[in-house]
């Protein structure tokens, strides 16, 4: 199962495209214009972006350019849909000219996800395991700071502190092992900020 970002300013088309993607077994996040799509791509880290070209605030082609310039998202494949661009755009990884058949759309979704770089596009371009290890380090560091504050207090349950300490060490071991499995040196694992669903036929 993959996460697919679908962007189109026409609500009916957005719903049809999203339903097709969901019927293929994938999760969908929807955007109604290019700016919203870019913001969602940065926060949700999709495995694939499907975007219309003619949209308010930011066109599909410009969205492609922004994604390719983003160091965290440049590896995410983009399917561009348009009725006005006969040959698509070089910034897009794939193109469908409107109107198109749903079967063609389904085949392109499948191909784009199969051809996407393995292990990319989640959490800043890191493989999933490395991203998980990196993300886990943030709360670990904060928990350690809180533990030191508790230890410095006057009236603290020593047994509770011992349990907390053991839990933190267990989490640290998981983070280190995840990093090593993905070829990331544990010493470079650092904290990262936490941020912040039709009938088949044709689409015109």
Task: Tell me the pLDDT tens digit for each residue of 102-150.
Answer: 999 999 999 999 887 655 444 444 455 554 555 555 666 666 676 777 7
* Higher pLDDT, residue 77 or 142: 77
The pLDDT of 68-95, averaged and rounded, is 87
**pLDDT of res. 124:** 41
Distance CA 59, CA 80 (A): 10
State residue 9's pLDDT score. 93
Write the pLDDT tens digit of every residue in 168-188.
Answer: 676 666 666 666 655 555 444
pLDDT in tens, 1-47: 789 999 999 999 999 999 999 999 999 999 999 999 999 999 999 99
Of 202, 185, 24, nearest in space to 114 by CA: 24
Q: What is the 3-state secondary structure (H, E, C) of the chain?
A: CCEEEEECCCHHHHHHHHHHHHHCCCEEEEECCHHHHHHHHHHHCCCEEEEECCCCCCCHHHHHHHHHHCCCCCCCCEEEEECCCCCCCCCCCEEEECCEEHHHHHHHHHHHHHHCCCCCCECCCECHHHHHHHHHHHHHHHHHHHHHHHHCCCCCCHHHHHHHHHHHHHHHHHHHHHHHHCCCCHHHCCCCCCCCCCCCCEEC
């Amino acid at each position: 199962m993959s996460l697919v970002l679908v962007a189109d300013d026409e609500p009916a088309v957005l719903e049809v495209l999203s339903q097709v993607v969901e019927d293929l077994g994938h999760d969908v996040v929807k955007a109604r214009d290019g700016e919203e799509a870019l913001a969602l791509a940065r926060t949700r880290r999709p495995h694939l972006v499907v975007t219309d070209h003619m949209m308010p605030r930011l066109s599909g082609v410009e969205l492609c350019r922004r994604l390719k310039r983003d160091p965290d998202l440049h590896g995410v494949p983009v399917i561009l849909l348009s009725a006005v661009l006969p040959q698509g755009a070089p910034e897009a990884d794939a193109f469908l000219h409107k109107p198109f058949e749903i079967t063609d759309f389904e085949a392109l979704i499948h191909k784009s996800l199969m051809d996407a770089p393995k292990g990319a596009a989640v959490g800043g371009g890191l493989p999933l395991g490395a991203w998980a290890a990196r993300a886990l380090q943030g709360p670990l560091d904060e928990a350690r700071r809180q533990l030191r504050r508790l230890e410095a207090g006057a009236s603290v349950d020593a047994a509770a502190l011992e349990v907390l300490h053991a839990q933190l060490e267990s989490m640290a071991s998981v983070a280190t092992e995840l990093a090593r499995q993905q070829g990331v040196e544990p010493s470079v694992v650092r904290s990262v900020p936490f941020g912040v669903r039709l009938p088949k036929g044709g689409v015109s």
